[in-house]
Structure formats: C-alpha cells, structure tokens
Amino acid sequence: MSCSSSSGSEEEDEGFDSYRKGGYHAVRVADQFAGGRYIAQRKLGWGQFSTVWLAYDTTTSAYVALKIQKSAAQFVQAALHEIDVLSSLADGVDMDSKCVVHLIDHFKHTGPNGQHLCMVLEFLGDSLLRLIKYNRYKGLPLDKVREICKCILIGLDYLHREHGIIHSDLKPENVLLVSTIDPAKDPVRSGLTPILERPEGNINGGGVTSLIEKKLKRRARRAVAKISGRSSPIGGIEAPKSDRNLDGIDVRCKVVDFGNACWADKQFAEEIQTRQYRAPEVILQAGYSFAVDMWSFACIAFELATGDMLFTPKVGQGFSEDEDHLALMMELLGKMPRKVATSGAKSKDFFDRHGDLKRIRRLKFWPLSKLLIDRYKFSERDACEFSEFLLPLLDFAPEKRPTAQQCLQLPWLQGIESTPNEMRNESSVEKVGVGMSNLQIKVGK
C-alpha cells in the first residue's frame, strides 16, 4: 500500500472509468441496502478504495455514513482489515467517550461490478482540514486548539494503550468534528428530510437544481416516507456567512479512517503516513511504533494553531523530497543526534558517518518559539507554552516522545471544560450532527 492521500479533493471526482468490474458500485439516490434498512441520500466523498454516501437508517431513524468498497479482491481484503480494526475498537465499549469513529454495521452488497463490502459508520461533521479552510488558514484560537488536541489524544490513548493499535495516517482530514460547522443545516433539527442539497449548488441561498435531481429527490422522499412512515418538506440552505467567528462551533471531534491502521505487533507496511505528517524514523526506515502517531499529532496541533503545515518538503536540485524533509526538521529542531540519524535502513542515502546530510549542507536554524512569535505573531507567553507542549512530541528519538496518556496530563491541556463523556450534543443517537460539506471518511491508501 502506498501512503498517498486517498481522499478526493473538492475539485475532483472519482471518474467514470472506475465504475467497472472490480471497481466502484454505482449508487443512485434512494437506492436501498441491507434489505432496505439503509437508503442512499447523497454522495459525501470518495477515496481510491471506496465511495461514501449519506444514508438514512430506517431501523434507528438516524443518518449514517455508508462506505461502499470497490469489489476487486485487494479492496475487499483492505475492507476486511478495516472492519477487523474497527470491530475490535467497538467491542462492548461506549464509543462516544473514546473519540474514535464507531462502526455500526457491515454487510456485502452485490451489484453489476461484483460483490462490495459495505461499512456503516456513525455520521460525523466536517474534517479538521475543512475547519482550517473555513477559517481561511488563519489559525484557530488556542482554546479551540486545546479542545481539539484533547479529543485527539483521548482517541490515541484508547488506540495505543487499550488496543495496541497504531493509526499510522493521522492528519487533519482524518479527524472529524462530532457536530457540524453550521447547525442550521442539520436536517434532523430543522425538520428536513434526509435529502441534502449539494453545497456547491446552493452557494447563494437559492441554488439551481436540475430536473433530474428534483425527480430523484422526490423519488427518495417517497421511499423514505414509505419505509419510515415519515415525510417532511425539503427546505433551502442559508448562504454562508462572510465572517468567520468560531465561537459557536463545537470542536469536539473523533479520529477516523482505519484503513492503514495496524497492531503494533502486526505491521504490514514500511512506508506509512502522509508526507507532511511523516515521522523521521519512517523516512529513515528505522522501525516504528505508537510514537509515529504522536509526531503526526504535533504536526496537526501546529497546523491548527497557525493555519500552515509544519513541514512542506519539496524536491530540489540534487536532493530528494525525503532529504529536504529531514533538513526542514533539523532547521526547526536542531541537528538530529548521530545515533538516530544513522539508525535506519535508508540512513546512508541521506547522512554521512558524522550524521550530517550529504547534499543539503547549509541549514537555517529557526527555533519553534521564535517562529511562532516572528511569523505567526504569537505573544511570548503563548509561544513559550505552546512550544513546551509541542517540542517533546517532536523529539527525533521516538522513545523520548511522551505518550498520549502522558500528554493528557500536561499543563497546556488543563482547565478544558469539555469531557469525553459529553461527546454528543444530544443524548439520543438520532440527533447525530450532519456536516453539509464533503465528509472525508476514507479507506486506506
């Protein structure tokens, strides 16, 4: 498995040529799954392995995310792995307190392109990446960053300490808000049917919908009314507000996408993690464990607080993306200890025997606290406190990085009101928050 991102961007789609034998299953609005229990409403997103649909669960009267895997053998195998991981996480536990997505159901669905494994997951809101974009890459207020960090750490602690699982692809796309950015768009609370307008079709509040879509919506409405005995009119969606006040946004969140997750004692890939969130030991192929997730977590925390990725390596004249990545790390964190630099199967590709990079000789050291003050205009106090929180997580030696459990005790995270047991706005499962934008629940790469 490669570790490039499997998420489709908002500007792209999955392409019609993948709808063939062994490929995606073609879904139409109001299609029924699992003997009529789940009714497809609208496509939320897609990955290299699957498409994801908003679906209505007629048994629980709740909205769910239905992930439909491609049917070829390798995709079936990947889905079985993800189901295995998610089932073990959900085994007899209240998942709302664990900050990890909940697998509700899984089944097989036969279509013209073959037999597809399907996963039913709780329906969550927007990803942290959407939140960062929504905030125009300006960096979130630090109290919001703290709340999000606490949730991610609760999820990582549950994975690492209680299950021995490494997520191995932690990034903003793979953390979803429990509720939605705009609660006014939630069809449960607003009394709408579970047919959601496409956001791009309704930017100015009115939105032009094709005749075909209108017919499909009427058909879906009738199907839902017939099966659930409920019917209600479809309303319009308000235009997005021009300001970006985040005060009212509930930032409690859950970790998703376990397509690349592995048990620490049953690893199946040397090259893991999306590039910008990749730990040095993975680049050097020096072996890895739970500490790789902690490195990625620190990169996410920085990105939330500043709006920028911590590391964005590029290929240059005479050096690779990997070597640039290592150089960027050392410019921020100081020289990599020789013992660490020379410890991996690929160390000799980048370092000489003294632990210096072979092809990038002139490094410009810019320590984290200075970077936060100079470039991001943090106050000295905020820069100092945030650096003290992040720097131990960015230790080149993986064994020295604090665990998720230890991080939860650190001073920077104390005094946050939200607790994991309040992971729902409402007590009933029907009140799941519904995010209007492309949901990025995805499968492994």
Give me 70's structure tokens. 């491609």
State the average pLDDT over residues 113-136. 94
Q: Are 183 and 126 in contact (CB under 8 A)?
A: no
Q: 232 or 322: which carries more pLDDT confidence?
A: 322
CA 233 – CA 212 distance, rounded (Å): 18
Q: How is 380-425 classified by DSSP, letter by letter?
A: HHHHHHHHHHHGGGG-SSGGGSPPHHHHTTSGGGTT----GGG--S
Residues annotated within a binding site = 67
Residue span of the structural domain in which 288 resides: 132-179+246-422
User: Does residue 352 form part of some domain?
Assistant: yes
Q: What is the pLDDT of residue 155?
A: 97
Q: Residue 59 carries which DSSP code?
A: T
State the average pLDDT over residues 297-313. 98
Sorting pLDDT into bands at 50, 70 and 90, what band is 6? very low
Q: What is the pLDDT of residue 244?
A: 75
Among 30, 296, 351, smallest CA distance to 159 is for 296
pLDDT at 158 over 60: yes
State the average pLDDT over residues 83-102. 89
| Residue count of the chain | 445
pLDDT at 210 over 50: no
State the average pLDDT over residues 385-405. 98
How many alpha carbons lie under 13 Å from residue 421 in its C-beta half-sphere?
0
- Give Cα 206 to chain centroid, integer Å: 31
Q: What is the pLDDT of residue 424?
A: 41
Give me 437's structure tokens. 């934008």
Residues annotated within a binding site for ATP = 67
User: Does residue 165 form part of some domain?
Assistant: yes
Query: Is residue 143 annotated as a catalytic residue, yes or no?
Result: no
State the average pLDDT over residues 77-98. 90
Q: What is the pLDDT of residue 268?
A: 85
Sorting pLDDT into bands at 50, 70 and 90, what band is 93? confident
List the CATH number of the domain containing 294.
1.10.510.10
CB under 8 Å to 20, separation ≥6 — which residues? Answer: 113
Between helix 142-157 and helix 291-306 the angle, nearest 10°, is 160
pLDDT at 119 over 70: yes
Q: What is the pLDDT of residues 165-204, one digit of tens each?
A: 999 999 999 999 997 665 555 555 555 555 444 343 322 3
Q: 238 or 386: which carries more pLDDT confidence?
A: 386
Q: What is the pLDDT of residues 430-443, one digit of tens each?
A: 323 333 233 333 33
Which residues, in sequence order, are bridge partners of residue 322? none
Q: What is the pLDDT of residue 40?
A: 95
CB under 8 Å to 105, separation ≥6 — which residues? Answer: 34, 119, 120
Q: What is the pLDDT of residues 227-277, one digit of tens each?
A: 433 333 332 223 333 467 888 889 999 999 999 999 999 998 999 999 999
Q: What is the pLDDT of residue 92?
A: 73
Per-chain mean pLDDT for the chain: 82
Where do the DSSP E strands lie in 6-149? Answer: 32-33, 38-46, 50-57, 62-69, 103-111, 114-122
Q: Is 57 helix (H, G, I), strand (E, B) or coil?
A: strand
User: Does residue 319 form part of some domain?
Assistant: yes
Q: What is the pLDDT of residue 96?
A: 79
pLDDT at 35 over 80: yes
Among 418, 425, 28, smallest CA distance to 217 is for 28
State the average pLDDT over residues 148-156. 98
132, 134, 137, 138 alpha-carbon torsion, rounded to 10°: -100
User: Does residue 126 form part of some domain?
Assistant: no
Strand 253-255, strand 175-177: pairing = antiparallel
Q: What is the pLDDT of residue 335?
A: 96
Q: Considering its fold, how many domains does the chain have in total?
A: 1
pLDDT at 374 over 70: yes
Q: What is the pLDDT of residues 46-70, one digit of tens each?
A: 888 999 999 999 999 889 999 999 9
Q: What is the pLDDT of residue 95?
A: 78
User: Does residue 226 form part of some domain?
Assistant: no
The CA radius of gyration of the chain, in Å to the nearest whole number, is 22
Of the candidates 96, 169, 182, 324, the residue annotated as catalytic is: 169
Write the CA distances from 439 to 42, 124, 265, 356, integer angstroms.
11, 8, 31, 43
